[in-house]
Amino acid sequence: MLQNTVVVQNQVGLHARPATFFIQKANEFKSSIWIEKEDRRVNAKSLLGILSLGIVGGTTIKIIADGADEEEAVKGLVDLVDSGFAEEAR
Angle at 21 between CA 19 and CA 23, to 5 degrees: 70
> Cα dihedral sign for 14, 6, 1, 53?
negative
- In the set 15, 41, 62, 75, the catalytic residue is 15
List Cβ neighbours of 69 (8 Å cut-off, separation of 6 or more): 29, 30, 31
The edge-to-edge listing of strands for the beta sheet with 32-37 is 2-7, 60-66, 32-37, 40-43
Told to judge if 15 belongs to the known catalytic residues of this protein, a careful annotator would answer yes
Q: Which residues are catalytic?
A: 15
